[in-house]
Every structure is written in C-alpha cells, then in structure tokens.
C-alpha cells in the first residue's frame, strides 16, 4: 500500500504487488478509509486476517466492463450499496429525487444506481458466472427475506434471489465475513457454506434445513397483509444472537431462503481491535479535488458503541445491529482521539462521541450477556424494566478523559441520548455534565410525538416522561447559570397518527414557542415494525388494527400543522382545523377569528329584497 489505502484501481493493485486479489469489494459509496464506513471496516478486518482486498468504488453502472477493473478475484466479490440504502439515498419520502449524495464526489447524485446491490451483482454475473458473490451492508441486511418495498408499493423477494448473490452477510459482519473467507480459502464451494451465523443462504434441499422455523411462503405473504404481519412478527422475535432460531421461507415450493441466527456481539477487546486497524481516516486521494461531503460529518467524531435496546418501532437497528450494546474501552477511545488531535485540520472540537444512542455504554442488564435480550419484553418501553441497570458512570469517565486531552477545547455529544434512560439513572451527574460541557446552547432530543396513542405505536414512553426530562433539564441549566434549550425532533404521519394528533403537536409547539426548521415525515423503510404497520394496517406485535395516513393530502396537512406559523402552510392548517371541527383554534394558530354563525333567516330576507328590486 504505497499510499496507505487499499487499491482502488489496477495501477494501485500492481503497485501493491497483488497479481490477483482475494476479494474485490464493490461499493456504492466513494472510498473513504474511516471506521464510520462499513466498506473500510470489512476490508481492513479481512486484511488483518491475511486476505487481499481491492476496492471497486462506484463502478460505472452504465458500462458492464467497469466491473472487470481488477479481473476475477481468487475467492469472491463483496457487494454493498454503501453506508446508506440506495433508495433512501436517492428518494425523499414523497418519492422525489434527491439533489445531493453526501457519499459521492462533490455531493453529486448519479454515481450509484437505484437498488445498487442488485444492479452490481447482475453486472458481475454477466461477466463471471460462477464467482462467489457475498452481499452485505444495510441494503442487503434489511432485505434478507421477503419484504415490503415502499418505492414499488409491493412485496419483493429476498434480495438474495433478485441479486443472484450466493450469501448475505447481515448485520455487523466482522465475524461472518472472516468465517466465509476462511471457508472459501479452505476449498469449500460457496454452496457448501450454509452454517455460519449472521448469514442468509439459499438451497433446494429442505431436508438440509435443521432446527428451524418455517415462515409463511412467499406467495402467502404476497397475497395476505395479515399473513405478512404474522411473518414479520416471527422475524422480529428472532433477532437476538443468543435466542434466535433459524428461519426459512419457501419460493415456488422448490427454493428455500434460510436465515441463520445472528452473529454474536463483539466483546470489548474485539471492538477495540476493529477500531485500532490502520485506517487512513480520510477519503482516497483520488477525491481530493472534489471532496466527499460525508467525511466532514464524521472526521472528528468517535464511535463509542453499537446496538440499541431502545428498540423504537420506526428504527431498523433491531434487525441490523441488535439490542445488545457493544462498547469500546476508554483506552481505545482515547487512542482514537489522539489520532484526531494530530490531524492538521483539527480545531479543538470533537464533534461527537456516541453511536445509535450516545449514552448506552453497557447492556441493559447483566442477564443479556448470558441469555440475550428478552423476546417479548422491552428494556425501556412502556416503562424501564425492573432489571434495567441505568448507569452513565463509564460514559462520564470517557468524556472526562477526552476533555482533559491537550488541544481539546470542547467535546460535543450529537448522537441521540435517551432521556428516559437519563431519568432512570438515580445519579444525575451525567445530565449535569452534559449541560455544563457537552452542548452549546441547544440539545436535540427525540420525543417524536406528543400523543401517547401514537407514542405507544412508536414503542416510545409517554409524553409525560419527556416533559419531566425537560423540567429537569431546565432546572439544571438554571443551577449552572446557562441559557440552553431543548430542540425536539418530531415525526408526522407515523402509523396511528391522525389530524387530531397533529393538532395536539401544533398546540404543544406553540406552547414552547418552537417552529421546527425541518419536518420528518414517517418514511417506510425495510426492517421496521412501523413499516409493517404502514403496509398491513396491523401492529405485528399485537395484531391489532392501526389507522394509517396514506393520502398525500392528509400527510401534507399533518406536516403543515408542525410548521403552522409558516405562511405557505396557512391554507392546509386551516383546512385541517375545519375538518376536525376545531375552528376554535383558528385564532390561536393562524391569528384568524372564528367564523360567526350564519343567520339563515337574515340571508333569506336580503335575497328576497334583491329579487323585488
């Protein structure tokens, strides 16, 4: 590696004295060698285990020959859409084409195709008929079985079938990808590698599938929304690495897609090892002129943990990283901070220390380390579990150590925090230090809604919990004599939310004198309970019916109510208020007086007078 990076073209491969790479990693992202990018982690892990990897970043999908840059790899192709799902990357919730792509040169759109994993695999198959293809990353992981696809409004098959790939390495794939590589290197055929945790395979021999739950057949879930919801519930109950069963579904009575149980979480030492690999921590020099916008968001940030036991219904983390927290040691985090500090562009500010949820640095309870997360019980919802250990002491220790480093002016926390977890901690040191040292005027938190009915369907605690947190936040800031504010993230049109709920939201926003600059409309993406609700009209966890706002005009009204003070939303807000017979709020929200009741008799008299004239 003359320039420290993995080879990105044939010339660099030759400079690295690689005649034939073990793997070619095809990615929908530009090549950024940083541990916030899945491509970098998987490639560096393979390199650590003695395998050579070349990176084919954003091949020209209009040119089939672009896939042949490095020739046929010795062991196989690895394929990912990149850090983001390509469809989410390309389209807004209104299915309008986005104008930028932060993971591409200069933020330009068009470097990757829609459904990137399928397109790249089909390109490979045209050139290399029998070369093993292993797919991974978010796009492949969340489409590993039959799934609802919002963009086509249909049930699609497992991506394993539509892509023509051989294996899916789902979730965080450090363990499974090494086992796959070693199996291929030992001489096993790819169709013989059926046993690895954290993988999905296909077979025509049902008798070879053991100790497994058979899901409803693909044709059944296509025809019945209720059956789809029931199938999803079984999948949801089998996402834990310690308790999950093998699952499989049938296609055409002769083809079976088999999901092996998830890989076991990494322990602290293994996590430290992953983040100690020799990343260059920047985009490949080939992009120096145009730049990759995404790197600016994470260049001076540190990932301290993975997983989330918050398990919100609209989030896919349960299906991707799981509920068991995996965290790094303080020493590992400090070492990465020192690398950040030595960067010539470092100005004294560490932008973030966190993960999916910043303040989760340990499993929810000690039981999870042995038995995994509970199948039918949540750690924080509807109330914190009696076994929950709410403890911020390790996180506080890490933050204090970071603040003490030379040249560090401030350490921000920009990942989300769980305010219900903060309240569950009997020691309030974390919230005090958060307010004192780690925010600058505003703290963004995510109550998501104000209606308890909607929050219940989101898997979030009652709104009273948020109000209690807001009160405590205010008291602490008064005590430390700082003027700081909460900025709530809120969501419109989540399953269960109607116009009445949106009006509640508008009234709350008015009461705190806040108008959100941006509004998040619920986005149905694969792998979430809420997406299943959106498509089926059932809550798969209870099988109770759920109201779903699908009409674009109603969704627009819900969105407008969250920004009721904007002039361009005035008509929609007024229409929503009238539809809900809440004309009494016209003045409160729009400074418009309530309509006076019309006197029908007077109107008739005036009409008759006009006729006589």
pLDDT band per the 50, 70, 90 thresholds, residue 517: confident
SS3 372: coil
pLDDT band per the 50, 70, 90 thresholds, residue 592: confident
pLDDT digits (tens, 9 = 90+) for 261-300: 999 999 999 999 999 999 999 999 999 999 999 999 899 9
SS3 8: coil
Can the peptide bond before residue 382 be classed as cis, meaning omega within 30 degrees of 0?
Answer: yes
pLDDT of amino acid 394: 97
State the SS3 of 91-119: ECCCCCECCCCCCCHHHCCCCCCCCHHHH
Q: What is the DSSP letter of 364?
A: S
State the SS3 of 534-569: HHHCEECCCCEECCCCCCHHHHHHHHHHHCCCCHHH
pLDDT digits (tens, 9 = 90+) for 369-392: 889 999 889 999 999 999 999 999
Q: Over 80: is that where the pLDDT of 593 sits?
A: no
HSE-CB for 384 with a 13 A CA cutoff = 18
Which residue is listed with tokens 């419109």? 492
Q: Over 80: is that where the pLDDT of 167 sits?
A: yes
pLDDT of amino acid 598: 46
Structure tokens at 422: 């903060």
pLDDT band per the 50, 70, 90 thresholds, residue 213: very high
Q: Which helix (H) or strand (E) holds 476?
A: helix 463-479
pLDDT of amino acid 229: 98
Using CA atoms, how far residue 272 sits from 41, 303, 309, 405, 530, in Å, is 12, 11, 21, 20, 34
Greatest extent of the chain over all pairs of C-alpha atoms, in Å = 103
Structure tokens at 473: 């936040």
What is the pTM assigned to this prediction? 0.94
Residues near 434 by beta carbon (within 8 Å), at least 6 away in sequence: 413, 417, 443
Structure tokens at 395: 């996180």
| DSSP labels, 34-85 | STTSHHHHHHHHHHHTT--EEEEES--TT-GGGGGTT-S-SSEEEEE--SS-
Contact predicate 246/212, CB 8 Å:
yes
Report which of residues 605 and 337 the model is more confident about: 337
pLDDT of amino acid 297: 82
Measured between its terminal Cα atoms, the distance across the chain in Å is 97
Residue 120 neighbours by CB distance under 10 Å: 30
Report the candidate in 561, 479, 558, 546 with the shortest Cα–Cα distance to residue 521. 558
Using CA atoms, how far residue 369 sits from 323, 326, 432, 503, in Å, is 11, 10, 30, 44
pLDDT band per the 50, 70, 90 thresholds, residue 602: very low
Q: Over 80: is that where the pLDDT of 48 sits?
A: yes
Average pLDDT over residues 335-340: 98
The values of phi and psi at residue 576, to 5°, are: -65, -45
Residues near 295 by beta carbon (within 8 Å), at least 6 away in sequence: 32, 34, 282, 283
Residue 479 neighbours by CB distance under 10 Å: 11
| Burial annotation 165-192 (CB, 10 A radius, 16+ → b, else e) | bbbbbbbbbbbbbbbbbbbbeeeeebee
Angle (CA) 71-57-47 rounded to 5° is: 70
Query: Do you know the residue count of the chain?
Result: 613
Average pLDDT over residues 522-534: 97
Report which of residues 604 and 508 the model is more confident about: 508
The values of phi and psi at residue 279, to 5°, are: -70, 145
Average pLDDT over residues 54-73: 98
Contact predicate 227/178, CB 8 Å:
no
pLDDT of amino acid 596: 52
pLDDT digits (tens, 9 = 90+) for 343-373: 999 999 999 999 999 999 999 999 998 899 9
| Burial annotation 205-237 (CB, 10 A radius, 16+ → b, else e) | eeeebeebeebbbbebbbeebebbbbbbbebbb
State the Cα–Cα distance between residues 110 and 115, nearest whole angstrom.
13
State the Cα–Cα distance between residues 560 and 554, nearest whole angstrom.
10
What is the percent of the chain where pLDDT is above 90? 93
State the Cα–Cα distance between residues 491 and 523, nearest whole angstrom.
10
State the Cα–Cα distance between residues 209 and 226, nearest whole angstrom.
26
pLDDT band per the 50, 70, 90 thresholds, residue 613: very low
Q: Over 80: is that where the pLDDT of 599 sits?
A: no
State the Cα–Cα distance between residues 567 and 326, nearest whole angstrom.
47
């Amino acid at each position: 590696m003359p320039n420290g990076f993995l080879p990105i073209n044939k010339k660099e491969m030759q400079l690295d004295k690689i005649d034939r790479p073990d793997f070619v990693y095809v990615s929908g992202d530009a090549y950024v060698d940083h541990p916030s990018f899945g491509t970098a982690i998987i490639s560096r892990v393979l390199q650590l285990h003695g395998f050579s990897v070349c990176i084919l970043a954003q091949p020209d999908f209009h040119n089939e020959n672009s896939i042949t840059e490095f020739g046929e790899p010795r062991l196989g192709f690895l394929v990912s859409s990149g850090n983001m799902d390509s469809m989410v990357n390309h389209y807004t919730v209104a299915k309008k084409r986005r104008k930028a792509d932060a993971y591409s040169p200069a933020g330009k759109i068009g470097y990757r195709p829609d459904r990137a994993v399928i397109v790249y695999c089909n390109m490979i198959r045209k050139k290399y008929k029998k070369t093993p293809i292993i797919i991974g990353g978010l796009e492949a992981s969340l489409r590993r079985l039959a799934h609802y696809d919002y963009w086509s409004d249909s049930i699609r098959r497992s991506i394993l079938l539509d892509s023509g790939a051989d294996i899916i390495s789902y979730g965080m794939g450090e363990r499974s990808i090494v086992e796959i590589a070693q199996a291929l290197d030992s001489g096993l055929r790819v169709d013989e590698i059926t046993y690895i945790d954290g993988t999905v395979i296909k077979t025509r021999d049902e008798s070879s599938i053991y100790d497994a739950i058979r899901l409803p057949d693909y044709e059944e879930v296509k025809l019945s929304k209720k059956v789809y919801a029931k199938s999803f519930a079984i999948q949801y109950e089998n996402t834990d690495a310690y308790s999950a069963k093998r699952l499989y579904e049938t296609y055409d009575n002769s083809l079976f897609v088999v999901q092996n149980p998830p890989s076991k979480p990494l322990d602290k030492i293994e996590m430290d090892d992953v983040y100690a690999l020799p990343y260059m921590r920047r985009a490949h020099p080939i992009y120096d002129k145009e730049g990759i916008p995404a790197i600016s968001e994470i260049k001076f940030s540190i990932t301290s943990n993975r997983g989330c036991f918050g398990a919100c219904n609209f989030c896919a983390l349960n299906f991707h990283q799981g509920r068991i927290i995996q965290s790094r040691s303080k020493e590992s985090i400090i070492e990465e901070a020192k690398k950040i500090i030595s960067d010539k562009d470092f100005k004294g500010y560490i932008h973030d220390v966190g993960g999916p949820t910043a303040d989760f640095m340990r499993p929810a309870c000690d039981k999870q380390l042995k038995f995994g997360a509970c199948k039918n019980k949540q750690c924080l919802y509807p109330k914190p579990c009696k076994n929950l250990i709410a403890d911020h002491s390790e996180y506080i220790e890490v933050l204090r150590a970071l603040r003490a480093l030379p040249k560090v002016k401030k350490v921000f926390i920009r990942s989300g925090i769980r305010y219900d977890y903060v309240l569950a901690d009997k020691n309030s040191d974390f919230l005090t230090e958060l307010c004192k040292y780690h925010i600058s005027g505003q703290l963004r938190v995510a109550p998501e809604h104000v209606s308890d009915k909607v929050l219940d369907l989101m898997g979030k605690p009652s709104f009273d919990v948020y109000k209690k947190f807001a009160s405590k936040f205010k008291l602490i800031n008064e005590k430390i004599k700082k003027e700081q504010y909460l900025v709530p993230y809120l969501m419109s049109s989540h399953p269960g939310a109607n116009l009445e709920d949106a009006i509640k939201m508008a009234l709350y926003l008015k009461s705190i004198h806040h108008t959100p600059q941006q509004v998040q409309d619920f986005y149905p993406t694969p792998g979430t309970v809420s997406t299943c609700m959106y498509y089926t009209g059932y809550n798969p966890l209870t099988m109770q019916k759920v109201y779903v706002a699908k009409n674009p005009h109603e969704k627009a009204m819900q969105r407008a109510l969250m920004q009721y003070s904007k002039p361009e939303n005035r008509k929609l807000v007024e229409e929503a208020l009238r539809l809900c017979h809440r004309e009494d709020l016209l003045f409160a929200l729009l400074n418009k007086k309530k309509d006076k009741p019309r006197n029908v008799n007077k109107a008739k008299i005036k009409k008759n007078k006009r006729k006589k004239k």
